[in-house]
Amino acid sequence: MRVTGLYAVTDARCCAPEGRERIRAALVGGARLLQVRCKDLRPPVDAVRALVSLGHAHGATVIVNDDVGLACEAGADGVHLGREDMTLESARAALGPSAIIGVSCYDDLDRARNAAARGADYLAFGSFYPSRTKPHAVRADPSLLTAARALGKPLVAIGGILPENGGALIAAGASALAVIDGIFGQNDIEGAARAYLRLFEEIL
């Protein structure tokens, strides 16, 4: 499974039962990675399992944010780990060698080097631009992506990314653009996803 292209990250509305059609629209629009992120509650395992099936039906890789146990129970393809989450080694032991484990590296190239050496499958940097989801997040410079290319891992950019500014991050080295509000905060979710997809078609 490749970590590349549009990486759709769910918002709170997507975790509700009626949110499945919102996610379907993003997948139809071209998202090939989906992160199930419900920060304020743990969604039911059956609901996440249904999203995994939906993602797979559209050829997408499905990642669970933070919760390794939920990823295991729901049959997800992997997990995304932040600074306060389970260690990469423990997550690998729980999920197995074929799971995709991504690590948030914020604006820290040394953290990225450490994660790469310990077997992370992708490295996420950001926030690159002001973000409504995390307005106080540390800001990262696109030059980090260029420097991190030497680590030989797929690089995910996140934070306030729009079709108008995402191209610069791809050019700097991002393999994938992780987007929440730019997709799920829009009235036309499918159309919004297609706008990001065009960035990769134009640049790569």
Q: Which of 53, 57, 33 is nearest to 121 (CA)?
A: 33
> What pTM was computed for the model?
0.95
44 contacts: CB under 8 Å, gap ≥ 6:
none
Indicate which residue of 32, 104, 127, 194 is catalytic.
104
Q: Does the active-site annotation cover 113?
A: no
Q: Does the active-site annotation cover 134?
A: yes
Q: Which of 110, 35, 114 is nearest to 79 (CA)?
A: 35
Q: Does the active-site annotation cover 37?
A: yes
* Domains present along the chain, CATH in parentheses: 5-203 (3.20.20.70)
What pLDDT is stored for residue 204 in this prediction? 58
| Per-position pLDDT tens, the chain of length 204 | 689 999 999 987 777 777 899 999 999 999 999 999 987 778 899 999 999 999 999 999 999 999 999 999 999 999 999 998 999 999 999 999 999 999 999 999 999 999 999 999 999 999 999 877 777 678 899 999 999 999 999 999 999 999 999 999 999 999 999 999 999 999 999 999 999 999 998 875
Indicate which residue of 20, 49, 134, 139 is catalytic.
134
